[in-house]
Chains A and B, each alone.
Chain A
């Protein structure tokens, strides 16, 4: 009756051997292809470094003006622009400017990459139910796997630094981009699509003229979600050497520096709110034509 009270598990030796074999396999793979893969990602690294250099080396008033200009361009709302200004000034005043700029440049590159990869995958997924069935579980894994876990293979492959951090963040942040692009396109009104067909649209014309514009509000929601998730992940990615607001937070955890933690945490909240409000306001402005309704 022992099997009844104790789960009949694999015996210790076999289990150890199994884990060892997998680890060995991955290590061999890393040794063989690590350099190639690193080479493959080196353009990304240059891009990251350039973005970070721009954000940290440009004088703060100029950066502030640029951010405010973007906020105004996207939202056309003085309220949002003013709260951006206040947040940025507070961050600078409490001496978190450089870390914040590093984090923003990281988020910027991550979001760009997520959009560039996520939208095409989402489009393909919306066109094939089979692909959707394949991709969906992969996205589930990406979203639910504890993020620390996939830091391990990334670090083994690429070492510690910006690029592995970037990859970890993108893996974590890209699922909503893909999912909402797919959903947005699938939700496009069938009647309108039929009309596009009836006028002889090619599939590219349908995508460009009908599906993407009508899916845009949903896609914008996806971008917004991606930014938020990237921000959350940036802190965790600081464990593998991503610089920015995550590093002081990590230090604060290790040394129980309450105030340091809370200040940097609030800075993250601050830029999260900026990103969120600005991107949402932009998304809303894109669908202005929906708001004015015939009385």
Chain B
């Protein structure tokens, strides 16, 4: 893959203000001028405020927020479809903000690929010609482009649909074309702007699975925008939550669910199916003399739901949680797991449980 030495994406002190004289107000915003004040006094809209995110290579970084939070604005800064007012966007060590038009075009052709919420396929081109669009723009010769495109069409499950037009396909299939088009570029960065938001829930789950399966082999740096916390928790190696143009929490799904930074995040997390997110480390208690595990073991990193499935099949009693080397690091029982699923804060077990999770 092209991304062997890819250095990830670093966003530093990024500000975006919409308005005719945006640059003049950055300093004021830096010094604490609020979004409402900026709008009221100067008629400018604060899009993003002091964004700092490091996205390591090969990870799925989810950026979550409700509409108007600036998430779509943020992702467009990575390939500079939107110019920032201040700040740096380093992709593989190069500042995108400083590129000239030609460099930017080359960068977009080879370093990034994008999937869009509304698919944005070319209606007059069939599936094959849509998929090879990126390669065509790069100047790859047709025969080779067709080869690559056909491979990806097959990989996303659209074999046999090459000569259909986009509006002959369902939404889910259209987005598969969007995904194939992006993947055919073989760029190290994959930007997905609410890529699945327009799909119905079943298809969305299906497409999430497609993405996770693909990611196991392609290991790209994926930036995934969503307003759906369940989707964020399922896909994200790292999650950043955005509100009114500011990052209010960054971390793994465990961090977000177990330690929401404020009431806003806590409110979101309340509705989450915790069983699918929280891992047994957060619940288990340390192995003690007197507790006699019943012989079954659960590997560390198992979600509560999966752990319950294992335990429910066996006899009552405690089950050991083991690390990859097979050493017992804790025990859980059905009561603790059930408690963790319904409690909204902390692990079901103990304070201790949370600290184990953060150490892991």
Q: Do A and B come from one complex?
A: yes
- C-beta contact mask, A267-295 vs B, less than 8 Å → 1, else 0? 00000000000000000000101101110
- With A198-B112, A199-B114 as known contacts, state yes or no: A191 contacts B106, CB within 8 Å: no
Q: A128 an interface residue at 8 Å Cβ cutoff?
A: no
A199 touches which of B137, B165, B170 (Cβ 8 Å): B137
- With A198-B81, A199-B114, A294-B168 as known contacts, state yes or no: A192 contacts B137, CB within 8 Å: no
- With A209-B133, A294-B167 as known contacts, state yes or no: A200 contacts B105, CB within 8 Å: yes
Q: B215 an interface residue at 8 Å Cβ cutoff?
A: no
Q: B44 an interface residue at 8 Å Cβ cutoff?
A: no
- Judge whether B105 and A202 touch: CB under 8 Å: yes
The residue of chain A having its C-beta at the shortest distance from the C-beta of B130 within the complex is A195
- Judge whether B168 and A200 touch: CB under 8 Å: no
In the bound assembly, the distance between CA atoms of A202 and B138 in angstroms comes to 10
- With A199-B109, A199-B133, A200-B137 as known contacts, state yes or no: A294 contacts B114, CB within 8 Å: no
B114 touches which of A195, A289, A290 (Cβ 8 Å): A195
In the bound assembly, the distance between CA atoms of A192 and B133 in angstroms comes to 12
Within 8 A of A (CB), among B101-146: 105-110, 112-114, 116, 118, 120-124, 126, 133-134, 136-138
Residues of the B chain whose Cβ atoms lie less than 8 Å from the Cβ of A292: 165, 167-168
Q: A197 an interface residue at 8 Å Cβ cutoff?
A: yes
- B202 → A minimal CB distance (Å): 17
Q: A201 an interface residue at 8 Å Cβ cutoff?
A: yes
Residues of the A chain whose Cβ atoms lie less than 8 Å from the Cβ of B136: 209
Residues of the A chain whose Cβ atoms lie less than 8 Å from the Cβ of B203: none
Indicate the member of B108, B121, B122 with the most A CB atoms within 10 Å: B122
In the bound assembly, the distance between CA atoms of A198 and B96 in angstroms comes to 13
- With A292-B167, A293-B168 as known contacts, state yes or no: A199 contacts B134, CB within 8 Å: yes
Residues of the B chain whose Cβ atoms lie less than 8 Å from the Cβ of A195: 114, 116, 120-121
Q: B254 an interface residue at 8 Å Cβ cutoff?
A: no
B120 touches which of A192, A201, A205, A287 (Cβ 8 Å): A192
- Judge whether A289 and B185 touch: CB under 8 Å: no
Q: A232 an interface residue at 8 Å Cβ cutoff?
A: no
- Judge whether A199 and B185 touch: CB under 8 Å: yes
B170 touches which of A201, A209, A287, A294 (Cβ 8 Å): A294
Q: B69 an interface residue at 8 Å Cβ cutoff?
A: no
Q: B238 an interface residue at 8 Å Cβ cutoff?
A: no
Within 8 A of B (CB), among A167-217: 189, 191-192, 194-202, 205, 209-210, 213-214, 216
- B85 → A minimal CB distance (Å): 20
The residue of chain B having its C-beta at the shortest distance from the C-beta of A202 within the complex is B105
A209 touches which of B112, B122, B165, B167 (Cβ 8 Å): B122
In the bound assembly, the distance between CA atoms of A210 and B121 in angstroms comes to 10
- B217 → A minimal CB distance (Å): 23
- B60 → A minimal CB distance (Å): 19
- Judge whether A201 and B137 touch: CB under 8 Å: yes
Residues of the B chain whose Cβ atoms lie less than 8 Å from the Cβ of A202: 105, 137
What would 30 A/B residue contacts be, using CB atoms closer than 8 Å? Answer: A189-B120, A192-B120, A192-B123, A195-B114, A195-B116, A195-B120, A196-B137, A197-B81, A198-B81, A198-B112, A198-B113, A199-B108, A199-B114, A199-B134, A199-B137, A199-B181, A199-B185, A200-B106, A200-B107, A200-B109, A200-B110, A200-B134, A201-B137, A205-B137, A209-B136, A214-B124, A289-B165, A289-B167, A293-B167, A293-B168
The 7 A-B residue pairs with the shortest CB-CB distance in the complex, in nearest-first order: A200-B109, A200-B108, A195-B120, A289-B165, A198-B114, A191-B120, A199-B134
By a beta-carbon cutoff of 8 Å, the part of chain B in contact with chain A is 79, 81, 105-110, 112-114, 116, 118, 120-124, 126, 133-134, 136-138, 165, 167-170, 181, 185, 191
By a beta-carbon cutoff of 8 Å, the part of chain A in contact with chain B is 189, 191-192, 194-202, 205, 209-210, 213-214, 216, 287, 289-290, 292-294
